[in-house]
Structures are given as C-alpha cells and as structure tokens.
Structure 1
Amino acid sequence: MTSARSTPPLCAEEFGSTAALLDAAALVHGDRDAYVEPGVGRISFEEWASRAHSLAAHLSDRGIGKGDVVVLILPSGIDYAVCLAAVAMLGGVTTGVNPRLGPRETEAIFAQSRPTLVIRDPDANLPQAPDGYPTMSRADVTAAVGTSRRAPAVVITRSDPVTIVFTSGTTGLPKGAWFDADNLAASAAASGIMSAPYDRRLTGTPFPHAGYMSKLWDQLVWGTALIEAPSPWSAAGMYSVIRDERITVGGGVPTQWEKLLELPDLDPAAFAHLRVGVVASAPASPALVSRVRDLIGVPLVVRYAMTESPTVCGTEPDDAVEVQFRTVGRPQHGMTVRITGDDGRDLPDGEVGRIRVHGGCVTRGYWNNEVLTAESFDPDGFFVSGDLGYFTDEGNLVLAGRVGDMYIRGGFNVHPIEVEHTIGEHPDVLHAAVVGHPAPVIGEIGVAFVVPDNPARPPTLEDLREWSRARLADYKAPDHLIVVDTIPLNAMAKIDRSALHSLAQEHLSRTPIVRHRRS
C-alpha cells in the first residue's frame, strides 16, 4: 500500500516570502542539521539563517536589492546554500553555473541573466566569469557571515522571482527557467514519498540544478537535512555516509546502487534509517529493484522532472518492479500531464506523443525571453516539452525519448528509450543507449552502445538482436553494436546523445554497415 502522506512541521501557505519561512525554520527546526559536508563541516537551520542574515546585510551594503540577479560559481555545499538564502532575503534572484559547463554556455548564462554580482570561488576548478562583472570571492563570504548582522527589511511577495535555473545547453544555448516562491511552495506540496518530517537526504545533485534550486521551500517546511555525497564518489564512501549520517532518503544512478550492493560484508543494519531510495539519470532494472529490496530492505522509486518543471511524475514504493523499470509513474500532487499529437489534441493511452505539463511546479517562463516563453506554452497554459511519451492503461507515464531522438528505420518510427529499456534487461548488459545513424536505402539504423555486465564476456550484436526481436517489433532491433566502458552523460547527468552520435560516426566510418534482411 502507498505510504500515507505526512504533515510538514511548517505550513508553506502561512508564509509570504522565503525570508519569512527561513526565519521560522530557524526557530522551529533550531539546532537540527540543515547541511552536512562529511569530513568538512555542518550547519543547523539556526546557523544557516544567521549566516544568511549577516551575508544579506553585507550584500545590501554593496547595493544588492530586490530584483537584482546574483550568479553563484561555487561548489555545492554550505556556502552555496547561505548565498542562496541571503539573496532571497533581499528579494534578489539567484542562479548558478553548473561546473561542467564550458565557456560558451557560461557566457550565454551571463548574457541572459545580466547579473549585478558574481560570487565565485577562485581557488576551485570552476568556470570563469566573463570580464566586466562585479565579483565577490568565497573568502569575502566567509568574512561577511561572521558579523552577526541582520538583513534589512524588504517587501517581498510570493510572486517575486527567487531562482533561475539554466538548461544544460545540449540542444542549443542554455535557457533560464525562473521560479517564484509560489513555485517553490508547490514543489514542497508535490514531494510525496520524497519528503517526511526531518528527513536526512543524501544528495549528489549539483546545486545549480533544478533538483536543488527549486527545492528550497521543500527543505525549509520539512526540516530536511541535506548531506553531500562523497566526492569523488565511491561505494564504500556512500555506504559509510548512509550509515554514519543515518540517511533516510538516498539517491543514485543505477551503477551506484549496483556497486553498493557488491560491497563485501554488506550489513543491512547500516540501512536501518533508510526508508526510500531514488533512481536518477537512468532506469533501474527489475533485477536491481528486487536486489535492493531483498538485500537492504529499501524500495527504489523513480522520478521524472525537467528543468522547466522540477516535479512532474513519480512511482510509489509499492509499485511492481516492472513499473519502476518501464515507467516514471503518475503525475504528482498538483500536476497534470497530457500526451498530444502535433496538432495539440490528446492521444489515447498507448500512443506516443508530446508531453505537456501544467501545475504549480512549472516555470513562470524563460528569463529575459518573452518570445520563447510565449512559444513554449499552449493556449491552455500547458508547458510544451521536448519529451515524448505515452500513458499505460494503469495511468503510468512511459518516456519514449526526445523529439529529436526518434529515428526512422525503413519508414518505421523508432524511439530509442524503448529499445534501451529492452536491451538493458539482457543479463549481460549493465547499461545501454541507442541512437539513430544515417544509412543508405533504409534511411537510418539503430546503433546500440552497451556497457557489459562482464567486460570479459560482452554480448554480441546477434545476442541483442535476438533478445530485442523476441520483445519488440523486429525493425526496432539494433543494427550495430559498440561496446563501451561508460555511457557519456551531459551536465544534467543524462545520456549525452550528441557525444554518442559523434562516436557512432567515428566508428561506422571505419566499419561497413550490414543490412539485416529479416528486418
């Protein structure tokens, strides 16, 4: 049975601004952990608010006020969180630069956000800010937070912008989706199984990501402690943090969960506090979901989100393993999802179409880009995503890929995610990705990239074709196989299909394309 919904210690509807909610969190949650950087330090909610007040007073002295944009180029962690809260106290708007972005994407972020101030750690291996912007160092932040000052009073409403989150820029330059306090409150209300009072959440999400920037109110109303995952990541490090920090919610990609289960002398007692695990970036196989349940007694769930709507759908702990693997669950509280054709009309269950999303978690638009904002919403107010999918008869959403990912093989449409899921179930496959590649006569072929479960015994192309044809239409079986050590990921930790297309081109330029007569 699905877990009952808990009541948060603070009610979001009682607060008119992030500043007011942060002060209330300091009083109600007090000396409970707000952030933990294992081996580095930790701060309570009371300390978080105090440091944010001191920094806000300093920023105000520097002329930062309501509506000003502040760009953070900082490592994820305590200082980033203090800066975000301080800017919010002044009615300012915070955005961050993902450390994996390059100069071109960083320059685009600055051109769109037009910041009043940049806060950057000059000692870290982080992107550089373009010339000409006022800058504050991490050392300046450290000095300011020790002054025990209070932020000036500012009139802020829940419709004032709080954060801008930029897309990864894999299909063009990054776009900045902005969110107000009503968005952040809606995200807290839609958290479902992900949030319970005083959770201790293990997170590896980069703080510039929507998974952090949109969850500020969620953390404040529930009193959630965010514990940083070990960096560099290791299974032993993850195991130690889960045990020592009494983690209740843990997230990771399938490979991380698999490596965790492979640790020698794995003690189920170390997971005594862990109530739910979250699968990120790629689907977890039914075998992995079952093994996690059997070995450490923890259900794995899946979440579907996008930069423009950090909460959309999710599975529940009691869903069948096939639901966890094949689908991304049902729309979360307050969210509505439609599947439409190119003409905007709703499609029946089982038919692939464009995913459209409506609800309180959806962005207000793209920062400083009214034209793109208008183009991205339909007349009914639904955000028109670039994702494709369909609903099952049970109401679960199945992703079919991105609009540009589909390829046409011999006149038939093939959606890579469907093929990836099927290949991923093969016992000799650890991870899989599929892209289309131009081919004479047939138009396009499917190229499968596979990380083998045992590098010494990788599957053959014929193995995967036979496996796929037994489960899918024959034309969906891959035409070419490339065995790799890892599947490349982009800055948002999703499959980097642009990199895969380049690898396919490089590989197939040296290898003749073989026509398979049966398909």
Structure 2
Amino acid sequence: MTVLRGRHANLGAALAAAAAQFGDRDAYVDPSVRLTFAQWDAAADAFAGALVARGIAMGDVIAIGLPSSAGFAVAYAGGLRCGAVVTGVNTRLGPSEIAGILRASGAAVLIGDLPTEAPIDRIDGAESARIMGAGGAHGERARREPARTDPAVIIWTSGTTGAPKGAWYDHAGLEAAAHSSGIMSAPFDRRLVATPFAHAGYMAKVWDQIAWGTAFVVPPQPWSAASTASLLRDERVSVASLVPTQWEKMLEHGAGAHPYPDLRIGTAATAPASPALVDSVRTRLGVPLVVRYAMTESPSITGTKPDEPAYIQFHTVGRPQAGMQLRIVDGHGAVVPTGEVGDIETRGACVMRGYWRDDAATAQSLTEDGWLRTGDLGYLSPKGHLILTGRRGDMYIRGGYNVYPMEVEKVLATHPDVAQVAVVGVRAPVIGEIGVAFAVPSPGRTPTLESLRAHVKAELADYKAPERLIVVDSLPLTPMLKVDRAALKRIASTEAQTRQSASLAPTAPSNSRVLSQSNSVETCA
C-alpha cells in the first residue's frame, strides 16, 4: 500500500494529489535548492504554462538536457502536466549524439545548454531557472489530462552497438513501477540518487517517488566518500545506491557502530558486489545490500531480498519483482529446463510499450503476447533465482566452447588482487576467440595472469580462463555508467595487433598494462 491515496489518471494528477496530501515534505534536495512536493507542484504548473505559451501541444516531445537536479524534475513534471511527452538527454553525450536523439524523438524544444547544431527551439538553463522560480504564476490554465495509455516518457538505450533506441512508456507504465518496487520503497523514504536523471533509474521511477512520498537527495559532484558520508547523516538518507568501488571507499572512510542510523538498505549499481563487500557493508556500516536487475526497456525485472546470504547477492540477481514474469527460452522460443542457459524474457506492466517511432525494432524485441526479449543470457537456479551470464553479443566461442564473460568476471572479482574486472572476447587464429581480462588492481596489489588463470580454473572449466591480462587504472564507462565493452574490445584488438607486428605469439598468455591516462600500451611480459 503506497502513501498516496486514491487512483490517478496521469503523473501530473498524482503530483497534484501528493502536494495536497503531504505538500510540506521534501521532494528534492540538491546542492543548490530544497524543494517540497507543494513547491514542485507549483513550479511544474509554471513550467507547463511556459511550454504551452511556446506552442507545445498534447503529444509533442520535449527534451530535457539539464544536470540531475530539482530543475530537471520541474521540467519533467511540467512537460507531463501539459500533456507533452518527456525525454531526457544525458549531459555527457557529444553534439552528434545529442542531435541524433533530437532527430529520432522529433523533439519540439530542448531544455538546457547542451551543444548541438540541430535546429530546435531552446529553453536555456537560465530561462529554465527563471520559470522554476515563478511558482504557480500560470495557475492551472496549462493543465491538461492525458489518458493512462497516452505516451509519457522516452528513455534512450546506451547505443553501444549502434544508434540508441527510445523505449517509451505510458502513464500506466510509470504507475506500475510504484507497485513493483518492493523493499526498495517505504513510506517517506529519503533516497540518495547518484545516477543520471536521463537514465531509466529516474525517468521511469518518478511516479514511484510520488506514490511513496520519497525525497530524492542529489549528491554534489565530483563524488567523494567524505561528502557522501555527511549527506547520509545530515539528510537522514534511508536508501542509497552506489557502485561497488564507492561502497569500498565508504568502508575506508570509516565505520563505527551503525554510522548511518537512518540508512535501511543499499544497492550495488552497475556491477556485482563481492560476498566479502556485501558482508563488510552489512557488519561495519549496518546496511544490507540488495541487487536489482533492470534495463531501459523494463526498469523492474528481478531483485534479491535483504535477508538473503551474500552468496545469493553476488551470484544472482534474485527473483521476479511484483507483477513481473520471467522465462528462459532457446533460439526457437521454447522454455529450457532449470539450470540451462538461454535467452531471458520478461513480461509485465513495467515493460516498455515499444521503441519510439521504430516499429521494426519493436517487433524484434516484443513478442505478440508481450514478452520482452532482453538480449541477456542466463539461467534459473532450483530456487528460482536468476543467474546472468551476459549479453548475447558478449559471449565468445573458444575452440568450439561457449564462454560467458559475466560468469568469469564473478570468479575473478573474488581474487584479492582485483578491485574491478571485465572480460571480453577477441579474435584469435586457430581457436577462433580468446578471453582478455581487464583488471583494476586492489590497492597495493599487482594481479598477474598466472594467478588469475589459476583462480578461474579452480572454479570453472579451464577453457574459460582468460589468456591475456591488461591491467588498467579504471574501466571505461558508457554515458549510462555501464562498462564500455566495445571500447575494451578495441583496446584488446589494438594490443593484439601490436603484439603481432612485434612477432609475438598472439595466443600465448600475456600480461600487459594499459595506462588509462594516455591510453598507451606497455608490454610487461
């Protein structure tokens, strides 16, 4: 049962109801402003009025290119309130990427100061701030009432294997997130939100925020353990999502007896947290970590529970969340037996309605009866937990055997010399493809190929052990904060070509170091 009472036709109506019911509670806390639900509602009215004054009609698309902030939230709610369709543009994207999203979405206006040569009406950052400060000056004249099945938001995929696609959701789909969140949402939570607002983690979860009366706390940039620790305490944060290395830094920063008494749960974002890290965060910080499996096309799929052991939190992504179904199928769409790797498909109210203005891509990803083909591979444990083995495109074939990089990465992540790791397959003579491991060393440690291969062989088949090691200072990330595997493959291929030109055996186990600051390659062995 959510905090917000009643049933509401669209997100704008839900926000108005929240303002009336608990309007004096914080909705947003960012480094520059604090916004209550009533203030958010009034500012959304002002923004809706400004959009209508510029000629925005029902169903027009507005693109938000603002940093993660209360200002982004006002533009988002204001756009939906006047019946527009809202899309977010990640501020890390380049001019050509921004122009591509604007063209594909058909956006009528861009809110923000992003660089692009696309011919489009703009509301720059300064004007956006003035509108936000106008409060309810435009009253309710700009309020429109879109239907539950009308398009509401478009969320863009990372586009690492081609042009990004826009997953679109109607108002009913946004509401569904509030009923699938499970342990992640509780009445009047205060949630630390460190992911970009253009990401599905925000764009598809705003109704969830409104329904539970949640305050979103935006940390200052650049990130630091000290500032995060202060924020967790001062703002009484109850839910926090950090990447594993950030949790490590929080442990290094210092931990007493429950140093964050309001923090009831945390998640490890973008990468699995090792069992040792899960245990340390639970015992030293007093915070249970859980795992969520989601994607742009379905922001709720599976999750673990706080009382499940660290082994489950590390090796699985849990069971289906409320209202979601899951199945593992073969290449012909037939369900495979428990324990057998296959294609992961999901169905439920949280799944996108399709790709924006792309019927062909929609038909490829959604079956006629509503199952989403995720593109991920995995299998189910006897107790129904989902174990991911990677993206279908990430799998490589070594000497006729399938190797799933995520399976290898989870083993390598438990090696004491490794802080972060990613594995990619690259072409090789005779055996087809081999695995290349990219490892970020643990502080004061130096991983070697020999020790990592032995570690993998102790747990998995010997052909799954990587045959090259490239030590890096950090793993490259996409604008969606996922490991950029395409970039790693390019680095590995370049390194292989360099070795071949130097008459080194291309398939012999090798140990190299890439200095990420200059992207140069230094051969160590």
**TM-score normalised over the length of structure 1:** 0.94
1:22 aligns with 2:48: no
Deviation at 1:420, TM superposition (A): 0.3
Report if aligned partners of 1:101, 1:168 keep a CA contact under 8 Å in 2.
Answer: no
Could you say if the C-alpha distance between residues 100 and 142 of structure 1 is closer, same or farther in structure 2, counting changes exceeding 3 Å?
A: closer
Report if aligned partners of 1:468, 1:476 keep a CA contact under 8 Å in 2.
Answer: yes
Q: Equivalents in 1 of 2:258, 2:465: separation in Å? A: 43
Give the structure 2 partner of residue 351 of structure 1. Answer: 340
1:117 aligns with 2:104: no
Deviation at 1:31, TM superposition (A): 1.1
- Deviates further, 177-186 or 138-147: 138-147
Give the structure 2 partner of residue 504 of structure 1. Answer: 492
Q: Residue by residue, what CA displacement relative to the aligned partner does 1:363-402 show, whole Å, maximum 9, x if unpaired?
A: 0001111222122112322011211111111111111111
Deviation at 1:129, TM superposition (A): 3.1
Give the structure 1 partner of residue 157 of structure 2. Answer: 167
2:390 pairs with one of 397, 401, 406:
401
Report if aligned partners of 2:329, 2:345 keep a CA contact under 8 Å in 1.
Answer: yes
Q: Residue by residue, what CA displacement relative to the aligned partner does 1:172-224 show, whole Å, maximum 9, x if unpaired?
A: 00100101111111111000111000000001110111110001110101000
Give the structure 1 partner of residue 370 of structure 2. Answer: 381
Give the structure 2 partner of residue 493 of structure 1. Answer: 481
1:65 aligns with 2:57: yes
1:470 aligns with 2:458: yes
Give the structure 1 partner of residue 179 of structure 2. Answer: 189
Deviation at 1:515, TM superposition (A): 4.2
Q: Where does the alignment leave 5 or more consecutive residues of structure 1 unmatched? A: 1-6
Amino acid at match of 1:177: A
Give the structure 1 partner of residue 301 of structure 2. Answer: 312
Could you say if the C-alpha distance between residues 417 and 388 of structure 1 is closer, same or farther in structure 2, counting changes exceeding 3 Å?
A: same
Report if aligned partners of 2:316, 2:386 keep a CA contact under 8 Å in 1.
Answer: yes
| Partner secondary structure for residue 248 of structure 2 | helix
Moved over 4 A (4+): none
- Deviates further, 277-286 or 92-101: 92-101
Report if aligned partners of 2:102, 2:118 keep a CA contact under 8 Å in 1.
Answer: no
Give the structure 1 partner of residue 521 of structure 2. Answer: none
| Partner secondary structure for residue 271 of structure 1 | coil
| Partner secondary structure for residue 509 of structure 1 | helix
1:91 aligns with 2:83: yes
1:416 aligns with 2:405: yes
Q: What is the percent sequence identity of the aligned residues?
A: 50
| Partner secondary structure for residue 474 of structure 2 | coil
Report if aligned partners of 1:176, 1:367 keep a CA contact under 8 Å in 2.
Answer: yes
Deviation at 1:407, TM superposition (A): 0.5
Give the structure 2 partner of residue 3 of structure 1. Answer: none
Report if aligned partners of 2:10, 2:172 keep a CA contact under 8 Å in 1.
Answer: no
Q: Equivalents in 2 of 1:342, 1:307: separation in Å? A: 23
Deviation at 1:267, TM superposition (A): 3.5
Q: Where does the alignment leave 5 or more consecutive residues of structure 2 unmatched? A: 510-525
1:208 pairs with one of 168, 183, 198:
198
Q: Residue by residue, what CA displacement relative to the aligned partner does 1:238-273 show, whole Å, maximum 9, x if unpaired?
A: 111101110000110000000100014x33443100
1:77 aligns with 2:92: no
Could you say if the C-alpha distance between residues 414 and 43 of structure 1 is closer, same or farther in structure 2, counting changes exceeding 3 Å?
A: same
Deviation at 1:466, TM superposition (A): 0.9
Amino acid at match of 1:386: G
Give the structure 2 partner of residue 217 of structure 1. Answer: 207
Q: Residue by residue, what CA displacement relative to the aligned partner does 1:50-107 show, whole Å, maximum 9, x if unpaired?
A: 1111121121111112101001111110111000101111111110111222233222
1:134 aligns with 2:128: no
Give the structure 2 partner of residue 336 of structure 1. Answer: 325
**TM-score normalised over the length of structure 2:** 0.93
Amino acid at match of 2:481: A
Q: Equivalents in 2 of 1:154, 1:402: separation in Å? A: 41
Q: How many corresponding residue pairs?
A: 501
Alignment of 1:256-275 (within 5 A): 256-264=246-254, 266-275=255-264
Q: Equivalents in 2 of 1:102, 1:386: separation in Å? A: 26
Amino acid at match of 2:197: F
Give the structure 2 partner of residue 4 of structure 1. Answer: none
Give the structure 2 partner of residue 276 of structure 1. Answer: 265
RMSD of aligned C-alpha atoms?
1.3
